[in-house]
Amino acid sequence: MNAIVVVESPAKAKTINKYLGDGFTVLASFGHVRDLPPKDGSVRPDEDFAMSWEEDARGDRQVAAIAKALKGADTLYLATDPDREGEAISWHVRAMLEARNVLKGKQVRRITFNEITKSAVQAALRAPRDLDTPLIEAYLARRALDYLVGFTLSPVLWRKLPGSKSAGRVQSVALRLICEREAEIELFRPREYWTIEAEFRTPAGAPFRARLTHLDGRKLDQFDLADKAAADAAKAAVERGAFSVVSIEKKRVRRNPPPPFTTSTLQQDASRKLHMTAQAIMRTAQQLYEGVEIGGETVGLITYMRTDGVQMAREAITAARQQVKDAFGANYLPAAPREYQSKAKNAQEAHEAIRPTDFTLTPERAARHLSPEQARLYELIYKRALASQMQSAELDQTTVELADAAGTTLRATGSILAFDGFLKLYREGMDEDPEDETARLLPPMAKSDPLASGPVTAEQHFTQPPPRYSEATLVKRMEELGIGRPSTYASILTVLRERNYVRMENRRFIPEDRGRLVTAFLVSFFGRYVETGFTADLEEKLDEVSDGRLDWRSVMRDFWADFSGAVEQIKDLKISDVIDALDEELGPHFFPAREDGSDPRVCQACGTGRLGLRLGRFGAFIGCSNYPECQYTRRLAVEGGEDEGDQLRDGMKLLGENAEGIPVTLRRGPYGLYVQLGEPDPEDKKAKPRRAALPRGMSGETITLEQAIGLLSLPRVIGVHPETKQEIQAGIGRFGPYVKMGPIFASLDKDDDVLAVGLNRAVMVLAKKQEGIRDLGPHPKDGESVTARKGRFGPYVQHGKTVATLPRGSELGAVTLDEAVALLAEKGKTLAPRGRKGAKPAAKPKDAAAPKAARPAKAKAAAKPKAAAAKPEAAAAKAKPAARKTARSGG
């Protein structure tokens, strides 16, 4: 037998290759080998949702390698991951191989294994199957839905809400949850309440504390003691009472262990205990699943980490129980194995829970083969899975009620851990101290015992707003609502941060103004599609597709009929309607109530105008209704953070003066932050003050006067090249910081400081750049150098400002001076100056022209962002979406 086995990753291929004997070749697909092209028309609703797929370069190479290996094989085993995405990858690989006509006469089978161990892989080979069509159709439906939402809704956002990035089917609902929680917090008004506690002593002299529950025979509710006066009266009643024990209730309670991890619960627990992000958790779990080298053999340490199932295989349960008995003794082992069932809404793909592949490989033994991050996560997974088969913990709880003759009652509660059971190994809470299970230990006492009274304290409290979502609590909430799939949560939360819709503070999500504007827009005009109920219902339908109970195209037809209609309605919406809706929706956020009761919308500058939301071509801002007489504006929070927004609230920040006494200011323009020397000359409108954009990595919050002056003095001379004797300069151009020697420009790395880079570093960067440049010699007409260069679109030749691309297949090192001169004469194009129309080369190479000075904001745009306030409709109509990026589909 000669068989090809296709898996997803090289690490997995290396491991599995060791488990299989001669006759098997294991190759990796490197994940997905093709995808929907990021352009309009990739999913065509008018053709019953036909889809066009595009192979990426890496996928094409990998499939070509698989096709080549298949020439001498008789069987192809598709062994990608055991979930919907894995099934889809296998489907794509098979389709691409069929297109190459290499599967004729070959047997194609699908195999899956939940753990990368020798026994699991060999068992999978003994039980092959065909590709799961319903699972593939569920993938197609999700991919088409995400694409259509992203590529239909995002352009609407760009046109109607400049400054927004994109919208996604699940991402938008997650963002709404974060924004709604923030709105709850802003509207929250704390309420005061008090509690009364007293100290007592038993007849034997043992102290304990009790809390007031009844006053004058009436049960107290939370807010019955609402102020200090009421609390003092209650305190006095306790102080004058003579208390005795009226009842003692003791009961033993059992606490059962939680089930092994699913994808969601792993993300929640690792986030709480290990302070890892969801993305880091899944990356590390992938490494543990694919395996590490132990004793000269690569071994997968955990089962597949994308799962909704909480059950374990029978042999795994048996192994876990044996390990419990060996490690802790028979009294920690329940009489019968524990069975668990998933409670997650829309649970699907009934894989095993996440567990160790070998329970005898304890965290202590595995740690020396793992990185610190891997070791911590493996320990968490191991303990949770093993604890799930341990005996319940038992606690003795005691409740004692004390009363006096006036009907004043206090209650004391206590508990003691009678048997630790699974708590000996694993605790769900953040505190790993075993004493945390004993809240309070009460001394021995009996009914009717008289008690000696001690100090009485009244403590003030205030109700707290709902907490902001952490990654753990947001994942939990999304799972409860049935939104998305656990395997996608990490990427969804990452996208929200990358698009500056939210930020993290103290490991909690806080929505940025940009995120709140997007949410308000979607809620106002696409409310149905960001409702949790609608999204969860759609998830249920997709699960029915994966079970073979529903046709995926019928789901798509129902969705698209309503969704496309909603988009059509919004296309003719006026910008003024958008502004009015967002202004009303976000009014409490942008204009919170004032303590003195005055109108928070009254303009602070003119005193008569009404402040409201305005929309310019670069995004939203707050403006006055008396524009243009009153030019007060206030920017919303942007990427620079709150501090930068506060500092630049009036458009600029004075950094100081240079040696000539000219002011140096930090300003914000449509292209970001920049520094400016002096002010425009009112008598000479053509003269512009010197400006320089802040390079990436330099913060407007921390920039110093010296750094600003340094930026304004660019380009600066670094020194002379030791060999060529040419002057080397450093500056900032259209592609960022660079160094320059003659006609050669080389980009600096992100870690290089353009203000401090030295001669040695500059020479090194230029040398690397020169590896892609050949000096062919002087041009016969003017003696100026002719060079051959590497470009983004292939090699090209250049003479002055004239460039010409080399014919396809030409090598940079093979072109001669004569060939270059002829090519320049025949096909040469003159590089047009930046910002002006003119001839361009057929394939304009990066670095073909000298980097231009950084393009900061125009004075008018920087000084008067108010202009957009006067006619927001006109401003937005003229505006082109900033950074016209292709809409991303997906979560």
Known catalytic membership, residue 304: yes
Cross-strand pairs, 746: 739
CB contact at 8 A, 887 and 155 = yes
> How many CB atoms within 10 Å of residue 304?
25
Both structure tokens of 462: 């205030």
Sequence-separated (6 or more) residues with CB below 8 Å from residue 234: 194, 196, 212, 215, 225, 458
Matching residue, tokens 């003269």: 687
How far apart (Å, rounded) are the C-alpha atoms in residues 8 and 661?
A: 64
Angle between helices 10-19 and 118-125 (to 10 degrees): 80
Sequence-separated (6 or more) residues with CB below 8 Å from residue 592: 186, 600
Among left, alpha and beta (phi > 0; psi -120 to 50; other), residue 883 is left
CB contact at 8 A, 469 and 271 = no
How far apart (Å, rounded) are the C-alpha atoms in residues 508 and 640?
A: 19
Cα→Cα distances 824→118, 429, 800, 848, Å = 62, 72, 11, 14
* DSSP assignment letter at 351: P
> How many CB atoms within 10 Å of residue 707?
17
Q: How many residues does the chain have?
A: 891
How far apart (Å, rounded) are the C-alpha atoms in residues 470 and 273?
A: 13
Cα→Cα distances 183→428, 468, 827, Å = 30, 10, 61
Sequence-separated (6 or more) residues with CB below 8 Å from residue 232: 458
Sequence-separated (6 or more) residues with CB below 8 Å from residue 495: 168, 171, 888, 890, 891
How far apart (Å, rounded) are the C-alpha atoms in residues 865 and 832?
A: 30
Q: Work out whether strand 744-747 and strand 829-830 pair parallel, antiparallel, or are unpaired.
A: unpaired
Amino acid (1-letter code) at residue 163: G
Q: Which of 19, 289, 304, 378 is catalytic?
A: 304
Residues labelled as active-site residues? 304
